[in-house]
Amino acid sequence: MKKLIPLLCFPLIALVGKAQNTINWMTPTQLQEAMKEKPKKVFIDVYTDWCGWCKKMDASTFVDPVIVQYMNENYYAVKFNAEQKDTLHFNNFAFYNLAPDKPRGTHLFAYSLLDGQMSYPSYALLDEKYNRINVIPGYKPVDQLYGILIFFATNQYQYYNNYLLKQFEAEQQLKQSRGNTN
């Protein structure tokens, strides 16, 4: 009996471990419910079924344990197919597919998130009040995505313009001290 208990527990432990190794993807509807309970920043993966780089993100970057843990702790993660046919009611708006009869019709929700720059994969980052912070296009390896996630989750994006201004001022001071006015 003592030998049987570990054998019975192993599949359960493996299932629990596996569940923690995936991003907790949700739908936009599930997101709205979760935001009522506990507001967080939002990461929306805008993809299509035919996108090769989207599939590579799913198979590599989005399964990395560091990305999974950081994403689950700091963001609500949403996957959204930019060509889905269903109407979506989100944040008091009705979004629909602009060409539902065409094979690659664009959904208005994706179009809105990406400002019409339809490139896949793309990631829309929203704040706790659904304000878009930024859109990041293209495949991202683990190290790049991790840096992006940290930058936005820790609100460093709010200070970036100040950083650029200080860099510019420092460059101007250096030029003036050297007598270079260009």
Report yes or no: 138 and 122 within 8 Å, Cβ to Cβ: yes
Domain with residue 159: its CATH number is: 3.40.30.10
Domain extent at residue 155: 20-177
- Average pLDDT, integer, range 138-147: 96
- Number of domains making up the chain: 1
Q: How far apart are CA 43 and CA 176, in angstroms?
A: 43
Asked, for residue 56, whether it belongs to a domain, the answer is yes
Q: Phi first, then psi: what are they for 26, rounded to 5°?
A: -135, 170
Q: How confident is the model at residue 124 (pLDDT cuts 50, 70, 90)?
A: very high
Q: What order do you get walking across the sheet with 132-137 strand by strand? A: 25-26, 75-81, 41-47, 122-126, 132-137
Asked, for residue 14, whether it belongs to a domain, the answer is no
Asked, for residue 9, whether it belongs to a domain, the answer is no
Given a cut of 50, whether residue 143 has pLDDT beyond it is yes
Q: How far apart are CA 119 and CA 50, in angstroms?
A: 12
Asked, for residue 32, whether it belongs to a domain, the answer is yes
Q: How confident is the model at residue 3 (pLDDT cuts 50, 70, 90)?
A: low
- Average pLDDT, integer, range 16-32: 82
pTM for this predicted structure: 0.79
Asked, for residue 84, whether it belongs to a domain, the answer is yes
Q: How far apart are CA 165 and CA 32, in angstroms?
A: 36
Q: How far apart are CA 96 and CA 174, in angstroms?
A: 54
